[in-house]
Amino acid sequence: MKKSLMLLLVGLLTVLSLAGCGEKSQADVVQALEKKMEEMSGYKATGKMTLQTGNEPQEYEIEIWHKGPTYYRVNLKNAQKEQSQMILRNDEGVFVLTPALNKSFRFQSDWPQNSSQAYLYESLIKDILNDPEAKFSAAENEYVFETKTNYQNNKMLPMQEITFNKKDLAPQMVKVMDTDRNPLVVVEFTSFEFNASFDDNSFDVEKNMSSAQIEVPTMATGDKEPFAVKYPLEQPNGVKLLEETEIETENGKRVILSFGGEKSFTLIQESAEIATPASASTSTYVNGSPTDLGFTIGALSENSLSWTHDGVDYMLASEDLTEEEMLMVAKSVQGQAAK
C-alpha cells in the first residue's frame, strides 16, 4: 500500500515538473515576440489572403517584404482576374502601384504605423503588446493569441486570432473577426524568412512597376469593354438612390449615382485611363491616406474616398458620411453588378 502510494506521488511530481519546465507562459512568449521584432533586420513572406466581405470569397496571393526600419513592399495579386496592386514605402514616401494601368500614386502618409495590418509581422506583435486583455493558448506546435485590433476607421472588425509557429515564432495564420466572431479576413502564411537580404533596388518604384508588368501586362487601350454599373449593397439607414446619370466622355462612359435621405453621398464610376509609357516615371500625388479596402487600396481624404478595381475608377464623395460609413459603402460596392 505504502509502495503504491509512493509510486503515485513520484509519478504526479514528474508530470508537474515536466509541465512546469516545458511550457512557456504568456508573458514568456510575449517577451520572446517583442525581442524577435526588435532584433530582426526585416523579412520576406508569402501567403494567401481570403476576404469574406462580399457575396463570394475573394482570394489573393500576397507577398510581403520588409527591410527595417521603414521600407515595405506588399504585393497583392488576384490570380483569377490577373490583377495586381503593390504598396511601396521608401525614403520618398508611400506609393500604390497599379501595373495593369501603368499608374502609381504617391502619398505623404505614416502607413503602416497608423492601424492594424493583418499581413505585417511587427503590426501583429504591436497589437498583442497593446492589448492587456489579450488571450493566449498553446498547442503542440503553435501559440495562439486573441487580441483587439486597431482599425481606426472600421469598428466592424474588433478582434483577431493570431497563430505563431512555436519553433521560430513565425506567423502561420491571422483571422480578423467581426463582432459575432466570424472571420472576414484570413491570412495564411506559406513561407516566412527572417532577416532576409534585399537588392539595392528592391523598394524602387520604377523597378517594381517594370517587373510587375511582366507578370500582369498593361491593359491594351483599345480593348476596354463597357463596364457594368455597380451599386452599394450597404448604406446608412434612411438613405436611398435618388438619381442615376450617365455621361459620355472621351474615355468612355461616366456614371453618377446620387444618394439622399438621412444622409447624402455621390458615387462616380468611369473607365480607368491607362497611362502611356512616356508618363511611367511620374507618380500622381494623392491628397489622402492609403486605405486597405480588402480587394484594392483606396485613397481616403476628409470628404472623399477613391479607388480603382477591374479597370474602373470609383470616387465616393460626401460631407455627411463618417469615415467608417464611407468605408462601409465602398467595400459593399465590390462585386455587385445590379441594384
Grid coordinates given for 66 = 520588409
Which pLDDT tens digit goes with each residue over 71-105?
Answer: 999 999 886 666 789 999 999 999 999 888 888 88
Q: DSSP character for 289? A: E
- pLDDT confidence of 153, banded at 50, 70, 90? low
Which pLDDT tens digit goes with each residue over 213-249?
Answer: 777 666 655 556 678 999 999 999 999 999 999 999 8
In this structure, which CATH number among 3.40.140.10, 3.40.50.1980, 2.50.20.10, 2.40.128.630 belongs to the domain 26-215?
2.50.20.10
Q: Note whether 107 and 92 are within 8 A (CB).
A: no
Supply the angle between the helices 121-129 and 26-39 in degrees, to the nearest 10: 140
pLDDT surpasses 50 at 18: no
Q: DSSP character for 264? A: -
Rounded Cα distance between 144 and 188, Å, is 14
Quickly tell me which residue has 489572403 as its cell: 49
- What does the pLDDT average to over 191-203? 96
3-state SS assignment for residue 27: helix
Of 8-17, 202-211, 223-232, 279-288, where does the model show the most confidence? 202-211
Residue/partner pairs of 125-131 with CB below 8 Å, 24 or more apart: 125/33, 125/34, 125/36, 125/37, 126/37, 127/160, 127/162, 128/30, 128/33, 128/162, 129/30, 129/34
Instruction: Please report the pLDDT score of residue 67 as a whole number.
Output: 97
Please tell me which residue, 110 or 20, carries the higher pLDDT value.
110
Instruction: Please report the pLDDT score of residue 26 as a whole number.
Output: 95
Grid coordinates given for 99 = 501595373
Rounded Cα distance between 221 and 70, Å, is 36
Q: DSSP character for 52? A: -
221-273+301-333 fold:
Phosphorylase Kinase; domain 1 (3.30.200)
Strand partners, 311: none
Provide the CA 220 distance to its chain's centre, in angstroms: 28
Please tell me which residue, 130 or 323, carries the higher pLDDT value.
130
- What does the pLDDT average to over 241-260? 93
Q: Where are the domains of the chain?
A: 26-215, 221-273+301-333
Share of the chain above pLDDT 70, in %: 84
Instruction: Please report the pLDDT score of residue 16 as a whole number.
Output: 42
pLDDT surpasses 60 at 336: no
- What does the pLDDT average to over 194-205? 95
Do the domains spanning 26-215 and 221-273+301-333 agree at the CATH topology level? no
pLDDT surpasses 90 at 129: yes
- What does the pLDDT average to over 281-306? 82
Instruction: Please report the pLDDT score of residue 256 as a whole number.
Output: 97
- What does the pLDDT average to over 40-67? 90
Contacts of 236 (CB under 8 A, 6+ apart): 262, 263, 321, 325
Of 266, 269, 272, nearest to 303 by C-alpha is 266
Share of the chain above pLDDT 90, in %: 57
Strand partners, 42: 67
